[in-house]
Amino acid sequence: MNKLTKIGVSALAGSLALTAANAIEMNVSGSAGGAFATSDENLKGDFYQYDSVTLSASGETDGGITVSASYELDGAPWAATSSYDNKSFSFGTDSMGTVTFHGHGGSSVMGQWDDVTPNAMEEVWDGTNGADVRIDGRSGNNLIAYDSPSINGVTFKLAHVQAADSATATGNDVDVGAYTDWGIQVAPEMVEGLTLGYAQATMEDTATTEIDHYTYFIKYAVGGATLGYQYHEADGHTGATTDESTTWGVSYAVSDAMSISYGQRDYNDNTASDTANSQEQEDSGFSVSYTMGGMTISGHMNSTDNVGGNSNASADKESYELGLSFAF
C-alpha cells in the first residue's frame, strides 16, 4: 500500500498568522533591457529584449517571525510569451535563519555559486557554447532551502529537491533526480574584504548512478579591486572519472559608475571513452559596465579555445555583446 504524507505550511498557521495589527509591506520591482549579441554560432540572434516584474509582500507575526512571498513574471529573451521565473514563500527570524519554499525557479547552493568570480557583466564562458563542468547545481520547481544567520562572519546554506520515485531492478526505490547540497561561507572579521566558501552536492542521476559535486572559492576585495578564484569538480557521472574546472577573475571599479573585469577558466572533461576530445577547454573574457542611476550600459568580449576539448580550428569560438538595461 502506498502512503502519501503531506506536510503543509498551512499547518503552521497558528504560529505564522498575521493579525490586522501587523503591517504588511508590498513591493513591486523589476528590470527591462535589450542587447545586441553575436557569436560564431549566433545562438542568441542579433538582438534580444527581456523584462521581468516581481511582486513581493512581507510582514511580521506577533511571535517575531518574518513571513514573505514573491512572484516574478519573466519575459524571457527568446520566448514569445511571459512565464513564471520564480515564486516562493519564506519564513524565519534573525537568530534562527530563513526557510524558503520555491514553488518555481528556486536555486540550490551550487546553482547560486556556479561562478562567483568577479565580473562586470557576464561569466567568461557566456555566449561561446563551450562545454560546462557538471557542477551547475539544480534550479527548478519544489525546492526547499535554508539560510542561516551570520555568526561571526560564518553562514550556512542547505537545499533539497525531491523527485519522482523510480524502482530499480532489485526492487529498491531510488529518487531519480533527487538533489541535495549544502555550503558554508566565511567572511573573517579579522581580514576585511576576504570571503571563503565551500559547497558539495549529491544527485541521484539514475537508479544506479550517483553524482558528487564539489566547489570551493576565495575572493578578496581591496580598494576598488576584487580578485577571485574558484575550483569545481564532479565525480561519478557515466563514462567519466572526474570533470573539473578552475576559474579566476579580477574586477576593478574605475569610478562609482564604471567597472571593468577580466577572467579565465580552464575546463577538463576527463571522459575515459572520449579520447578524441582530450584537450583542455580554455575560456577567457573581458567585460565593462557603466551605471547611470537605474540604467546600465554593459558589454563583453568572450572567447573559448578547444570547445568541448576539441583541438580543431572550428572548435574555437568568440562572443560579443552590448546591452542596455534599466532596473526599477
pLDDT in tens, 1-41: 444 444 444 444 444 455 444 578 999 999 899 888 887 66
Helix (H) or strand (E) holding 110: helix 109-112
pLDDT level of residue 136 (50, 70, 90 thresholds): low
pLDDT level of residue 85 (50, 70, 90 thresholds): low
Predicted pLDDT of residue 124: 84
Q: CA–CA separation, 323 vs 262, rounded Å?
A: 18
Q: Which cell is 299 given?
A: 558589454
- Residue spans per domain, the chain: 26-327
Please determine, for residue 319, whether its predicted confidence score (pLDDT) is greater than 90: no
Are 212 and 232 in contact, with CB atoms under 8 Å apart?
no
Please determine, for residue 230, whether its predicted confidence score (pLDDT) is greater than 60: yes
Instruction: Write down the mean pLDDT value for the chain.
Output: 80
Please determine, for residue 328, whether its predicted confidence score (pLDDT) is greater than 60: yes
Are 239 and 273 in contact, with CB atoms under 8 Å apart?
yes
Are 165 and 207 in contact, with CB atoms under 8 Å apart?
no
What average pLDDT does range 225-253 have in this prediction? 85
The three-state secondary structure class of 111 is helix
Q: CA–CA separation, 82 vs 80, rounded Å?
A: 7
Please determine, for residue 103, whether its predicted confidence score (pLDDT) is greater than 90: no
Strands 225-235 and 66-75: unpaired
pLDDT level of residue 159 (50, 70, 90 thresholds): very high
Please determine, for residue 138, whether its predicted confidence score (pLDDT) is greater than 70: no
pLDDT level of residue 168 (50, 70, 90 thresholds): very low
Q: Which cell is 207 given?
A: 537508479
What average pLDDT does range 77-83 have in this prediction? 54
| Greater pLDDT, 21 or 283 | 283
pLDDT in tens, 300-316: 998 888 776 666 666 67
Q: How far is CA 27 from CA 54, 68, 88, in A?
A: 8, 11, 15
Neighbouring CB atoms inside 10 A of 238's CB total: 11
Q: CA–CA separation, 21 vs 34, rounded Å?
A: 43
pTM for this prediction: 0.81
Q: CA–CA separation, 78 vs 74, rounded Å?
A: 11
Which range, 119-128, 235-244, 319-328, has the best average confidence (pLDDT)? Answer: 319-328
Predicted pLDDT of residue 278: 59
Domain made up of 26-327: CATH architecture: Beta Barrel (2.40)
Predicted pLDDT of residue 21: 46
What average pLDDT does range 307-326 have in this prediction? 78
Please determine, for residue 256, whether its predicted confidence score (pLDDT) is greater than 50: yes
Which range, 216-230, 261-275, 296-310, has the best average confidence (pLDDT)? Answer: 216-230
Predicted pLDDT of residue 15: 47
What average pLDDT does range 271-286 have in this prediction? 69
Q: What is the DSSP string of 6-58?
A: ---GGGGHHHHPPPTTS--EEEEEEEEEEEEEEESS-TT-SEEEEEEEEEEEE
What average pLDDT does range 52-61 have in this prediction? 92
What percent of the chain lies above the pLDDT cut of 90?
39
Predicted pLDDT of residue 317: 82
What average pLDDT does range 97-111 have in this prediction? 87
